[in-house]
Amino acid sequence: MSSNRLASYSQRMAAITLVFIVVMMVVNTGAWLFPEVAARYGLGFALTERQLSSMSEEAMHLAGWQRLGAILLSSIPLLALALGLANLRQLFKRYAQGLYFSSEAAVYLGRAGRAVALWVLLDFLCEPFLSLLVTIHAPVGQRLLTLSVTAPSFVALFLAACIAIIARILSQASEVDSENRTFV
């Protein structure tokens, strides 16, 4: 693949990543504003989707403050993921400039990996609070405190670890590339 095509693909990926960040946050907010639509079409990400799928039709009629709280609580893990995607976007921008073995590229990749791990952790920590928030007005015995450990969480943690290791390899590769450039 020519470097011009690779640069073009990297530019596209940087743009797509930015669009994905915005769409992810908008869909999450929309899922809490219109939970019936979100539940019917399976809209939402991770925490939001799990909460909405476990709610009955009656429970989807939340008070305004509950919707706002749900948007905020479910957005906390997504903001960590958005930070990781923003770092991935910066990585693609470096690649578009032809900076494949730069130390900056390794830093951005490492940050993306850590952000994915943080996303999984925050998703796990925010779920009990979110489940209490959305069921607070339910009758006694129907209030929920949920905690989920899902297979996708383990996959995300594995990928985060892989990304972190690849970032270290890229960091060493950039050092070797820098040394080789000084000899030439």
DSSP letters, the chain, are --HHHHHHHHHHHHHHHHHHHHHHHHHHHHHHHSHHHHHHHT-S-THHHHHHHHS-TGGG---HHHHHHHHHHHHHHHHHHHHHHHHHHHHHHHHHTT-TT-HHHHHHHHHHHHHHHHHHHHHHHHHHHHHHHHTTTSPTT---------HHHHHHHHHHHHHHHHHHHHHHHHHHHHHHHHH-
- Give this prediction's pTM: 0.88
The pLDDT confidence band at residue 184, using thresholds 50, 70 and 90, is low
Mean pLDDT on 30-45: 85
| Confidence bin at 42 (pLDDT 50/70/90) | confident
Mean pLDDT for the stretch of residues 117-127: 96
The region, left, alpha or beta by phi > 0 then psi within -120 to 50, assigned to residue 139 is beta
Q: Which residues, in sequence order, are CB contacts of 150 under 8 Å at separation 6+?
A: none
Q: Are 12 and 83 in contact (CB under 8 A)?
A: no
The pLDDT score that the predictor gives to residue 81 is 96
- Residue 86 vs residues 34, 40, 95, 115: alpha-carbon distances, Å: 27, 30, 14, 10
- Per-residue pLDDT reduced to its tens digit, 49-84: 888 887 767 667 889 999 999 999 999 999 999 999
Mean pLDDT, residues 82-110: 93
